[in-house]
Each structure stands twice: as structure tokens, then as C-alpha cells.
Amino acid sequence: MAVVATVGAIGVASAQKTTTVEVTATEARSTDAVASVHARPLICDVSMKVYTAGASWCKESEFNTIDKKTSRFTDYWFLTASDVQAISNSSNTINVDEVKRYGQFRSQQYHQCDVIIAPILNFRSASKDEKQLRGADFVVIVSGYAGDFINFKNATEEDLRLIEKNKTLTDYRGGEAIQTTVKGRN
């Protein structure tokens, strides 16, 4: 697009001088090259480990037991006050959630699993006997089923629809987690 402008100066007793200026204006759209990654969610199945005598994850001790019929384990983790302070990152406040997570972490390591299915986590002060025999001030009790992630794959459209349709909510009543499946509306 070209624009022609005429600029003139008028003098009282002199001749008029005319100057012509040519102006060109150009417009373009500018976009930057932006790299972005679009990933499909990765999904998998959870496989519950089944008790097998002698299996490396089936270790039992006085404080770690496994129900041989259901494969449900119960672990007792004894902690001193200094252990709990270190886990809580505080010398005067106990972070109960962090201490429970620590117990869950210990159980996952002990049973060589990726996840604990239907976990029940309990944190309490040690009994008089536990203090005397174990030197413990606190006990974390972890109970559940050992599970491993298997069959990893990219989510399909059907998987994404099912994930959106069935969202899980957790409701805490009386210290226990109650999970409820909420059906989505079509």
C-alpha cells in the first residue's frame, strides 16, 4: 500500500513551493517458533502379589506378617522421638501425615512393591512394653496388599472417557479413608 502526501507552504508575497513525499507502510504477522510436547497419558494395570512361600517379597518376621490366604500384610515400624523429629523436619511438632508416608515407604521397600493396595496406616505412641523392649517412642502400623504396575500403554480415547466418568473421591471419617466412586454424567 502506497500513500502519497503533498506538503505545501504558502508564503504571503512569494511563490508556492510544493514538496512531494512518498510513504510506504507494510504490515505482516509475526509468530515465534515455539516447541511444545503433547503427551498421551500413560496408564497401566495393577497386579496384586499373591503369597508364595519363599518369595523374596514374602519376608515375615516378628513385626512383619502376611496372611497366607489373602496375601494381606501387616508391618510394624518402631520409631524413636528423634526419628519422628527428623521425618517431620521439626523438633517440636509431629507431622503425622509425613510419618505415615514414611511407614508406607518402608513397607513398599520391604515387600518390593510399586504400590500398596487398600492401605491402612496407623500412627500411635508406643506402649510401655514397646518402649522397654524396642526402645521405641512411636509405632507406624501399615497394612495392605502388595501390588506392582504392569502392562504400561498409552491411554486410548475410551480409557480417557472412563477416567473422566469414574472419578474417585476420598472422604476421611473418624481417621479412616473411605473411597467412593462417583459416576459421571453422560
- Alpha-carbon gap, residue 68 to 156, rounded angstroms: 37
**Across residues 108-125, what is the average pLDDT?**
93
Q: What is the mean pLDDT of the chain?
A: 78
In a domain, residue 10? The reply is no
- Band (pLDDT 50/70/90 cuts) for residue 59 is confident
pLDDT of 7 over the 50 cut: no
In a domain, residue 149? The reply is yes
Q: Do 130 and 114 fall into the same domain?
A: yes
Q: Do 167 and 134 fall into the same domain?
A: no
Q: Which residue has the higher pLDDT, 183 or 159?
A: 159
pLDDT digits (tens, 9 = 90+) for 68-98: 899 999 999 999 999 999 998 887 888 899 9
Q: Do 104 and 145 fall into the same domain?
A: yes
Per-residue pLDDT at 42: 87
Structural contact between residues 103 and 142, judged by C-beta atoms closer than 8 angstroms: yes
Per-residue pLDDT at 39: 72
Q: Do 118 and 137 fall into the same domain?
A: yes
In a domain, residue 21? The reply is no
Please provide the DSSP assignment of 88-144 as one string.
HT-SS---HHHHHHHHHHHHHHHTT-SEEEEEEEEEEEPPHHHHHHH--SEEEEEEE
Which of 10-14, 45-49, 72-76, 151-155 has the lowest average pLDDT? 10-14
Q: Do 59 and 144 fall into the same domain?
A: yes
Q: Do 108 and 69 fall into the same domain?
A: yes
Q: Do 182 and 150 fall into the same domain?
A: no
Q: Do 109 and 134 fall into the same domain?
A: yes
Q: Do 176 and 90 fall into the same domain?
A: no
**Domain containing residue 95:** 42-154
Per-residue pLDDT at 21: 67
- Band (pLDDT 50/70/90 cuts) for residue 1 is very low
